[in-house]
Structure 1
């Protein structure tokens, strides 16, 4: 059995300190095989927020992969957003979009953020053909027999939560990922957990969303997903602070 903790939208700068301490305590006590963070480590991509995020993540002392969220791109400094959008991530470089290979399991990143979009709301998702090609190459390179989980920030299709992703290229990406053999897509962004089977022409794909550990809650208290993989099964348990 493999056990993963899937967390998202931590938003240092608007973090819930009690929720962070609770999650870190669960990691220390239960020692999951890996921690998957599906974006929005920070609130405004400030240097102090990234420094706090780095210290917290390193304190977990587990294998970690971190996806970039829309809040992790510079918000006020347009020059930095367009020219050096990931400069403040450099201290976290070894964790960012890091593929994880565990026995029988591959966790593959997919970039869904954009510096610029031809629409007013740049917070929504966008999967470029280049980003999708890079992810598909990693999926195809996964060892035979591995369960393949895709990790990205934005849900590729909307799943009925109060917040939306409206990810451009998301349906195309989902079809391609299913055809390549991906079993599930792990995301964040909407701040509420979900778990659905989505049909594609290549067969169903599991869509799994995590909640938030920030003060910016929606319909669910601060939470994370515990993912257990036993043989062919993927079991999801939403762990809510105050109920766990």
Structure 2
């Protein structure tokens, strides 16, 4: 079995300070083979916020890989945003903005989908799809980790990243199995399997630490890969309560090139968080 912890949208600088210790305890208790952070480690890309984020990651007792999000580039310092947008992330978190990691039977391919010339909308840069296809291992479970989703549920009103549909189509055909993303502050796991790409399980994380009340809760996920099976644990901490609730579990199996959800139950209700203004939203 290979265990991956997925968290996103920590937003240090607008984070829930009382939850930091509990989140670290849960992550370290999971004894993961790899921790994947899909962007927005900071709220405004400021040096002090990057120091907080780096200090948090240093306390995780497992290998960590992270990619930037749109909040990890300076918002108000316009010259820095456009001339050296990823300087703060590179110095504090890692110079590789699109890292690749292997853990057990899993291969995780990172992608920097952040566009400094857009407040929110992401971009899949020219040549990146070919690079990712070249990194797919036919003997592994292949995972893409990026900040911006490649596909969204119909109720989401944000623009998809540039070239996102092309990336999903081509990477799925090349052997990609899972996409980990964030950005929306809304959880979804398996809801997109019926939306045209059943061979790619898209797991969209909520926010791990952001304290904006409109999000209502913080959360992260633990993914256990065993052969063609996957168990996803969702750990939720409601804003109105202290700490995390017992985890919820979902089970999936991959066969014949498609994923099948093994749990039958009511859909998870969509909480607010995806429709705020550019200066407040994820």
TM-score normalised by the chain length of structure 1: 0.89
- C-alpha spacing 1:165/1:216, structure 2 compared with 1 (3 Å): farther
Aligned runs of 1:151-166 on 2, under 5 Å? 151-160=145-154, 164-166=158-160
Partner of 1:106: 107
Q: Deviations over 1:31-58 (max 9, x none)?
A: 1111110000000000000011001101
Q: Distance in 2 between matches of 1:156 and 1:91?
A: 27
Q: Distance in 1 between matches of 2:95 and 2:63?
A: 11
Structure of greater relative contact order (alpha carbons < 8 Å, 6+ residues apart): 1
Aligned equivalent of 2:140, options 142, 146, 149: 146
Q: Distance in 1 between matches of 2:99 and 2:149?
A: 19
Matched, 1:228 2:224: yes
* Bigger shift: residues 229-238 or 6-15: 229-238
Deviation at 1:161, TM superposition (A): 5.9
Matched, 1:209 2:204: yes
Higher helix share: 1
- State the 4+ residue runs in structure 1 displaced beyond 4 angstroms: 160-163, 217-220
Matched, 1:25 2:25: yes
TM-score normalised by the chain length of structure 2: 0.78
Aligned runs of 1:44-193 on 2, under 5 Å? 44-89=44-89, 90-93=91-94, 96-117=97-118, 122-139=119-136, 142=137, 144-160=138-154, 164-193=158-187
SS in 2 for 1:60: coil
Q: Distance in 2 between matches of 1:165 and 1:22?
A: 34
Q: Number of aligned residue pairs: give it.
A: 235
Contact 2:38 2:181 in 1 (8 A): yes
Q: Distance in 1 between matches of 2:29 and 2:121?
A: 36
RMSD over equivalenced CA pairs, Å: 1.9
Q: Distance in 2 between matches of 1:51 and 1:164?
A: 30
